[in-house]
A and B are shown apart, each in its own frame.
Chain A
Amino acid sequence: MEMLVASAIGIMTAAAVYLILRRRTFAVVLGMTMLSYAINLFLFATGRLVRGAPPVLADGVATYTDPLPQALVLTAIVIGFGMTAVVVVMALGAFVEGGDDRIDLPPGDGDGRANAGDTGGAP
């Protein structure tokens, strides 16, 4: 079972890294989601893999599974959801404003023109 879980995490991470290195935001968002799945599985496995054991103290039970990683994973999942929503909305905003979903900055960056368009009352 350890082998299976470990290779699943490894393959997912590799696929996620490949997707994150793409130049379009859609692929990158998919990659981020996949990476957070892989990390969640990894966190889950840090309490050791135990089958069929309760996570809470009870009378007459000898083996326990560690409940803390499960609580950590729950927190990580909630935060991951929120972050995915944020990055999707921002990617959409950049797509609507910029006309395409490329992730690299257009050539105007670094010329000082970047902030000229949004200086409020400035010409």
Chain B
Amino acid sequence: MTGALGHWLIAPVLLPAVVGPLIILWMSEDLLLARVFSLCATAAQLVLAAWLLAQAAGGEIFVYRLGNWQVPFGIALMLDRLSALMLLLTAALALLVQLYAIGSGWDRRGAHFHALFQFQLMGLTGAFLTGDAFNLFVFFEVLLIASYGLMAHGGGGMRLRASIQYVITNLAGSALFLAALGTIYAATGTLNMVDLAQRTAALPADQTALLRVGAVLLMLVFAIKAALVPLHFWLPATYANAPGPVAALFSIMTKVGLYGIERFYTLVFPPGGNAGTLVADLLLPAAVATLVLGQAGVMGSRDLGRMASWAALASVGTLTLAVARFTPQGISAGLFYLIHSTLATAALFLVADLIARRRGSLRLVPGPSIPQGGLIAVFLMAAGVAIVGLPPLSGFLGKIAVLKASTGTGWTVAVWTAVLMTSLMAIVGLARAGSAIVWSAGATPPPARAADPAAPAEWLALAATGAMLAGLAVLTLAAGPVMRFTDATAAQLSDPAPYVEAVLVRQEGAK
């Protein structure tokens, strides 16, 4: 019933689903116990994700049929290279962010941080593993509900205002998601992704109108999640007002939208297929606009948190630029840049939080000098180098891959101009932030106060930020193997036959 991996395939979803409620029921009074328990669960998640990646790296597609129901009728989980990669990235990011939240004392500023964190992980892993479109919607809701709680963590008037905007945008997005799924179901009669791919391909060419509407609606849903221009308005205020570690964790949330795009528009609605080319036609101009607007925002921000949010938006633009043509080279480059930009954005948010907790504000005006200022200046420099994509951190490799993938697509000039010009804009913006925060430090006398009482283990917060940046350095060194893996992932996505074989054909023992 369960294929080669047995029940281990569902373990990444079950683990946080069990740990989260246990933390609420048993440990809501005991923060230490909750921290240890939750940290162990996330570490186990990381080990599990690494093991699953090792299994999926060979190219086999693993399927887990829930309740052992035959596939088009029951829900199936599906592990291929893409989902395994996203699982590992999520788990690694989550572990570092959680260490930071514990070290900085953010997790004690409101109730149930660790439980919400585990629910968030459950939603993310479920969304990456599921092979059913409606189940994807359900896991989106799980991760969104948890993210609403995390976003409002710690309270405060401005943060709650920003949370409301975030919640309402995403509720509207969910409504659109349901409308898209309904349309696709009405056109094809199935919601399993692989079955959908088969039936879409088999649809007579004169009956695809409804399907094309559904495909574009679904595209809009993923564009809201990924914050593509012009559906990006929720992102800057949300990320800038979220607690620092939560904003860092949210750097994977825009990537969920991109994961959806990569999954659906390669496997289910392949370019040149029955679903039409409207999606690919819309995606590239939107990506260029996102990139330009994001980096313009980096240049024009008046505080570092807002600047990091715009940088996150710009990284979505670069990523979409790579993916937009749905060529294997583009998808491979996009996946490499996805790993890089998730870690780089998260690192920038963590550094911004380190500064905010010492300096009191992130405004780009001369301020007091801060404790551990030298180390934090180095961190800020490294995070800036990473997010702009300068050597020696992995961003420049990602950007080169994106530029190379664009050659011969007819959009070469536009892509090269956009990427290179906006990189310069980002350098100017981040250099301004660095000089205002680091070089002008000490212009006003430091406030007389003892060490932050809410941060008992500041070394842990610093170590987590450092580890995030070190991860980027490792990604540079290991770029060869990682790019071979992303190449293999892109190749796997562009060939639906093994998916059909694994999900629909090999069903011995199913009810």
Contact = CB atoms under 8 A, between A and B. Distances in A.
Query: Do A and B come from the same complex?
Result: yes
A40 B178 CA distance: 8
Interface of A: 20, 25, 28, 32, 35-36, 39-40, 42-43, 45-48, 68-69, 72, 75-76, 79, 82-83, 86-87, 90-91, 93-94, 97-99, 103, 105-106, 108-123
Nearest to A108: B158
B362 A115 contact: yes
A116 B165 contact: no
Contacts of B453: 120-121
Given A69-B182, A72-B134, A120 B454 contact: yes
Interface stretch (B5-13, B218-226, B299-307, B469-477): B299-307
B413 interface: no
Interface residues of B, number: 59
Contacts of A114: 158-159, 162, 240-241, 305
Interface in B253-278: none
B168 A97 contact: no
A90 B185 contact: no
A48 B186 CA distance: 8
B465 to A, nearest CB: 16
A64 to B, nearest CB: 13
Contacts of A120: 105-106, 109, 357, 452-455
A36 B109 CA distance: 34
B178 A43 contact: yes
Contacts of A97: 155-157, 160
B455 to A, nearest CB: 7
Given A39-B178, A46-B182, A79-B138, A87 B167 contact: yes
B356 interface: yes
B158 A39 contact: no
Q: Across chains A and B, which 10 residue pairs bring their CB atoms closest together, nearest first? A: A112-B303, A112-B363, A121-B452, A120-B454, A94-B160, A118-B156, A97-B157, A46-B186, A116-B361, A46-B182
Contacts of A105: 158, 161-162, 165, 237
Contacts of B174: 79, 83
Interface in B69-123: 105-106, 109
B241 to A, nearest CB: 5
A98 B145 contact: no
A46 B183 contact: yes
Nearest to B184: A46
Nearest to A29: B168
B356 A86 contact: no
A122 B358 contact: yes
B213 interface: no
B172 interface: yes
A91 B164 CA distance: 6
A113 B305 CA distance: 10
Contact of B134 (A75, A93, A109): A75
A47 B329 CA distance: 39
Interface string B453-465: 1110000000000
Contact of B172 (A35, A45, A90, A118): A35
Given A112-B305, A113-B363, A120-B105, A36 B175 contact: yes
Contact of A122 (B165, B179, B357): B357
Contacts of A72: 134, 181-182, 185
25 contacts: A39-B179, A40-B178, A47-B185, A69-B182, A75-B134, A86-B148, A90-B148, A90-B164, A91-B164, A93-B152, A94-B163, A97-B157, A99-B157, A103-B164, A105-B165, A108-B158, A111-B363, A112-B306, A112-B361, A115-B361, A118-B109, A118-B154, A119-B357, A122-B358, A123-B449
A123 B158 CA distance: 17
A115 B241 contact: yes
B182 A113 contact: no
Contacts of B478: none
